[in-house]
Amino acid sequence: MPRPSNTEARREQIVAGLLKAMAERGYEGASVAEIARAAGLSAGLVHYHFEDKQEILLTLVRSLASRARQRFATRVSKLAADDARGRVDAFVDAFLATGPDADVAAVAGWVTISAEAIRQPEVRVAYEEVVRADLEHLEALVAAVVGKRRARPLAAGLFAAIQGYFVLSASAPGLVPPGSAAGTVKRMAAGLLDAATSSSPEP
């Protein structure tokens, strides 16, 4: 993989700085000066690479989505081509699993982004685009197990569970037993998929 250009590297550094600053102070408290400090750069460089704080946030939305999709792709690459259920589990793991590639900061980041999506129309558009794409992806994975007609409600339920764990772990982290989220949602998925596949087949 080619190395990113200096501009790309600086922008990635600034986006990571926003994520870190939001974890410490929330979006409102993450001033350009705080973002620069968290990124280890000058405020002038932040202004050079981004028009304003919102542009950094919108870039962060795309960055976090890309990271989750890359984790999914890595997991799927180790599965057999016909392992449809394994792909559903891989999706859940990409968002919730602990381990070397866990993205703890991203969880709090998504919760903050979802709150800003309520307040800022531009963020809402970007957030909805990412969430819609992820839900449609999960729906396709579920459809490969249970058929297209049954897939949407099951996928929506599983995706809501993932989002619910995000909110709980960010707002009241002591309530969720460490490392339990992915396994619990995968067991939910197994139960839902088993029930759907054991009922009458699609017409």
Q: Are residues 80 and 116 in the same domain?
A: yes
17 part of a folded domain: yes
Q: Are residues 167 and 193 in the same domain?
A: yes
Question: Average pLDDT, whole number, for the chain?
Answer: 93
Residue type, 147: G
| CB within 8 Å of 124: residues ≥ 6 apart | 117, 118
Place of tokens 């049954």: 150
Tell me how many helices (H) and strands (E) the chain has. 9, 0
Q: What is the distance between the terminal CA atoms of the chain, rounded to a whole angstrom?
A: 47
| Percent of the chain with pLDDT strictly greater than 90 | 84
Which amino acid appears at position 129 of this protein? Answer: E
User: What pLDDT is attached to residue 200?
Assistant: 57
Q: Please tell me whether residues 34 and 110 are part of one structural domain.
A: no
pLDDT of residue 201: 58
Is the same domain home to 40 and 117?
no
CB atoms within 10 A of CB 74: 13
Q: Kindly report, residue by residue over 151-172, the tens digit of the pLDDT.
A: 999 999 999 999 999 999 988 9
Q: How many domains does the chain have?
A: 2
- What pLDDT is attached to residue 2? 57
Residue-level pLDDT at 44: 95
What residues in the chain have per-residue pLDDT under 70?
1-4, 200-203
- Considering the domain architecture, whether residues 101 and 11 belong to the same structural domain is answered as no
In a domain, 178, yes or no: yes
88/17 same-domain check: no
Please report where in the chains the tokens 């249970």 appear, as a residue: 146
